[in-house]
Every structure is written in C-alpha cells, then in structure tokens.
Amino acid sequence: GKQTKHARHRTLFATVLSLIASVCFGLAITGEKYLLDTIGAPTYALIGIGMQFLPLLFLALYYNRDQFKHFRKSKFRNRVIIMGGVRAGAGLLFILSLIGANNASLIGMLSGFKIILTTLLAVILLKELTFIKRKLLASCIACIGVGLMLW
C-alpha cells in the first residue's frame, strides 16, 4: 500500500545517497593519499578534522539543536565519547595505513571489509533482519571480491 511505496522511495533515496557517498569516499581516499604525500600527516590531520568538524557542527546546530539536551545524561555522553573515539581511532589507523602501504588502491580495497563487518554487526547488534539472506549473500560476494583483488 501507501506505506510500502513510501518505504521503497526512502530506500531508493538512501541508496542513491550511499552511491554518491561511495564516489566521495573513493575521491577522498585518493585525495588523502596525495595530501599526505604533499603536506604530511600532522598538518593533514589538523586540516582534515577541521574540514569535517565545522560543517557537521553547523548542520547539527541548524537542524537538531534540541538534540544537544541528551548530552546532560552521562550514559548518552559516555556512549558518544566512546563511539567518537572508535571513529577517530579508525580514521587514524586508516591514515597510518595509507602512509605505511603507500598504495591508496590497496587500502581503499581493504577498507571494503567494513561493508561485511557492518552488515554482520547490524544483524547481531541492531537486529536488522530485513532482507537478511540478501545481506549475508552480498557480504559473502564482497568477501570473494576483496579476496580476488588481493590474489
């Protein structure tokens, strides 16, 4: 019915956004490697963090200003700090892997494992069971694809 049609449109819109994000990530990985070779890791980290933080802060303040009230709760604040630390750690490890491997295509390809892990964790932790067979099959195919590229 009407609800199913709306859900399909939302999923299609989200899929298009995800594809655009994938293109942006591909450009970002290549650009990050270039910048790391040109200006060095410390300068890039400072600029990169600032370039990500400022727009997000403005968006959060503009669209969801009332959401900041949740930070008064220590449980919520601790979770945000932990997840922010995990995300920052992942970013640092990614930058270090780009520097160490000196091969943006290899590191970009290996970062594809996050697709597989995200799918599995979403099923286990978030109970996202919609299209579970399709998701698990796609994860297996992604594993095979990454394996073939490394072979």
Local confidence band at 114 (pLDDT 50, 70, 90 cut-offs): confident
Residue-level pLDDT at 70 = 79
pLDDT in tens, 20-60: 888 888 888 888 888 888 888 888 888 877 777 888 888 88
Max distance between CA atoms of the chain, in angstroms, equals: 55
CA–CA distance, 41 with 38 (Å, rounded to integer)? 9
Please name the residues in contact with 32: beta carbons below 8 A apart, sequence gap of 6 or more.
Answer: 44, 48, 95, 98, 104
Local confidence band at 151 (pLDDT 50, 70, 90 cut-offs): low
Residue 122 exposed, middle or buried by CB count within 10 Å (0-12, 13-18, 19+)? middle
CA–CA distance, 135 with 140 (Å, rounded to integer)? 9
User: Is the sign of the CA dihedral 134, 137, 143, 149 positive or negative?
Assistant: negative
pLDDT average, residue stretch 128-145: 82
- One-letter amino acid for residue 49 of the chain: I
pLDDT average, residue stretch 88-110: 84
Does the structure show a pLDDT above 80 at 13?
A: yes
pLDDT average, residue stretch 68-91: 84
Cβ atoms 32, 105 nearer than 8 A: no
Backbone angles phi, psi at 73, to 5 degrees: -85, 125
Cβ atoms < 10 Å from Cβ of 107: 20
CA–CA distance, 60 with 54 (Å, rounded to integer)? 10
Roughly what angle, to the nearest 10 degrees, separates helices 2-39 and 41-63?
150
